[in-house]
């Protein structure tokens, strides 16, 4: 049953009150038509609970914006919803198209900081060389920030709405292929779902190696929360068994990793690696809470995922002026480059035809009662 406006309704009760379901909720295909977003397809969801969000079909069905009852749930960067055609793969050029957003996917064959990876079969521009008298093409081995997948548009886009008993669902499905001749051929199948009356988003991803050779695979959900979910005094709801600073910039602030500060002029980002606790089934629950939001009513976000699917968790704290954002980032990798993950033995390799699945649930914590309930749930994890 759907809970709407403080009351639970069956399918029949709802249909007796409306002429069309789009009076209450829906998933609608649109095309963005201004500036450097021009021509990008998108799917706009509204769930009837106050949750609205946009999945950019022109950008891997990533969730570029989301709000609840008029309040933004994510940080939005000044570049806006940039079309995939403006992607700059070299170095930090990825940032010129980074809109922030509730979910920005990193991968599929690499993620993390720009780095040289000369042993890689996939990299930057292909260079023509002459080896032992035979001409061939080989990658330069230069990998830019966070990979290509977020800048690949969806094919076979399908937007659906349907009843399942007394539950009304909305979804968008698409396929994104990261491929290069003589190298990578990875296919991402993504489904984004929401349900009438609920302030939750479900993402189901399947990554398949469709080449005939083993393929290295890195995958990270870059989930970017902003004001008013984060503000001075906001708290991370994370049961971390071990916290490790990424570098000497983050290390001095380790003792305060759980709290978010007011905006700081000229600050550098702080990044921490967490070994997060999970339940008996290996499921992780984490969150972010601003108990002072809405005059003390509170506002927060939670995330749930499988630690078996995504064994690593990265916390990005960036309390800068304007760039006032935190990233909650479940991943199958760390963020210092593919070469380092390979060297330290954690790099995933997909065999020909092998597939990995990833599932992520994101939801709103509407008040301090819900925040306290989630905090208690997190504390029980081991």
The three-class DSSP label of residue 261 is: coil
1-43 pLDDT, tens digit each:
899 999 999 999 999 999 999 999 999 999 999 999 999 999 9
Predicted TM-score (pTM) of this structure: 0.94
Q: What pLDDT does residue 134 have? A: 52
- Burial environment of residue 245 by CB neighbours within 10 A (0 to 12, 13 to 18, 19 or more): middle
Query: Would you mind telling me the total number of residues written for the chain in this entry?
Result: 382
When pLDDT is cut at 50, 70 and 90, the band that residue 209 belongs to is very high
pLDDT at 121 over 80: no
Sign of CA dihedral 365, 366, 368, 372: negative
117 pLDDT band, cuts 50/70/90, is confident
pLDDT cut 70: percent of the chain above it: 94
Looking at residue 368, its pLDDT comes to 98
Q: Give the long-range contacts of residues 318-321, CB within 8 A, separation 24 or more.
A: 318/267, 318/269, 318/270, 319/260, 319/261, 319/262, 319/263, 319/264, 319/267, 320/263, 320/264, 320/265, 320/266, 320/267, 321/263, 321/264, 321/265
Domain 2-379 matching CATH 2.30.30.30: the answer reads no
Flag whether pLDDT at 248 surpasses 60.
yes
Phi–psi pair at 332, nearest 5 degrees: -100, 15
- Mean pLDDT to the nearest integer, 121-142: 53
Model confidence at 124, in pLDDT bands (50, 70, 90)? very low
Beta-sheet strands, E only, within 134-268: 134-139, 142-143, 155-164, 167-179, 185-195, 200-209, 215-225, 235-237, 240-245
Given a cut of 90, whether residue 267 has pLDDT beyond it is: yes
Q: Which band of pLDDT confidence, cut at 50, 70 and 90, is reported for residue 116? A: confident
Residue 128: the pLDDT is 47
Instruction: Specify the residue for token string 């984060």.
Output: 230
311-367 per-position pLDDT tens digit: 999 999 999 999 999 999 999 999 999 999 999 999 999 999 999 999 999 999 999
Q: What mean pLDDT, rounded, does the chain reach?
A: 94
Torsion of CA 279, 273, 219, 31, to 10 degrees: 100
Per domain, the residue ranges of the chain are 2-379
pLDDT bracket for residue 140 (50, 70, 90):
low
Phi, psi dihedrals of residue 145, rounded to the nearest 5°? -65, 130
Query: Which phi-psi region, left, alpha or beta, contains residue 40 (left: φ > 0; alpha: ψ -120 to 50)?
Result: beta
* Cα 242 to Cα 325: distance, rounded to the nearest angstrom: 23
pLDDT of residue 125: 44
For 239, what's the count of Cα atoms within 13 Å in the CB-facing half-sphere? 17
Taking Cα atoms as reference points, which of 139, 12, 124, 22 lies closest to residue 2? 12
């Amino acid at each position: 049953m759907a809970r709407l406006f403080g009351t639970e309704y069956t399918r029949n009760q709802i249909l007796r009150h409306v002429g069309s379901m789009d009076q209450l909720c829906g998933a609608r295909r649109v095309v963005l038509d201004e500036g450097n977003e021009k021509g990008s397809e998108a799917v706009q969801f509204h769930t009837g609970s106050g949750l609205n969000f946009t999945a950019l079909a022109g950008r891997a069905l990533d969730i570029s914006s989301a709000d609840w009852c008029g309040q933004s749930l994510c940080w939005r960067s000044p570049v806006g919803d940039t079309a995939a055609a403006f992607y700059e793969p070299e170095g930090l050029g990825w940032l010129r198209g980074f809109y922030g957003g509730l979910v920005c996917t990193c991968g599929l064959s690499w993620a993390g900081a720009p780095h040289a990876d000369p042993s890689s079969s996939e990299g930057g521009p292909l260079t023509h060389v002459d080896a032992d008298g035979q001409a061939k093409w080989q990658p330069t081995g230069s990998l830019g920030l966070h990979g290509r997948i977020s800048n690949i548009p969806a094919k076979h886009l399908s937007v659906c709405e349907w009843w399942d008993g007394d539950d009304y669902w909305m979804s968008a499905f698409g396929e994104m292929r990261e491929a290069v001749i003589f190298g990578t051929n990875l296919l991402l199948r993504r489904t984004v779902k929401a349900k009438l009356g609920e302030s939750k988003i479900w993402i189901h991803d399947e990554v398949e190696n469709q080449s005939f050779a083993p393929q290295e695979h890195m995958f990270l959900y870059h989930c970017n929360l902003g004001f008013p979910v984060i503000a001075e005094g906001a708290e991370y709801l994370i049961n971390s068994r071990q916290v490790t600073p990424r570098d000497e910039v983050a290390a001095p602030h380790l003792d305060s990793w759980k709290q978010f500060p007011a905006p700081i002029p000229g600050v550098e980002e702080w990044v921490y690696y967490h070994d997060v606790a999970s339940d008996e089934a290996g499921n992780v629950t984490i969150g972010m809470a601003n108990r002072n939001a809405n005059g003390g009513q509170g506002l927060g976000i939670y995330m749930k995922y499988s630690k078996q699917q995504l064994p690593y968790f990265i916390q990005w704290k960036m309390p800068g002026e304007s760039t006032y954002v935190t990233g909650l980032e479940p991943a199958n990798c760390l963020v210092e480059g593919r070469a380092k993950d390979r060297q330290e033995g954690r790099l995933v390799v997909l065999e020909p035809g092998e597939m990995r699945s990833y599932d992520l649930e994101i939801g709103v914590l509407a008040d301090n009662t819900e925040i306290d309930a989630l905090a208690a749930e997190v504390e029980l994890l081991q």
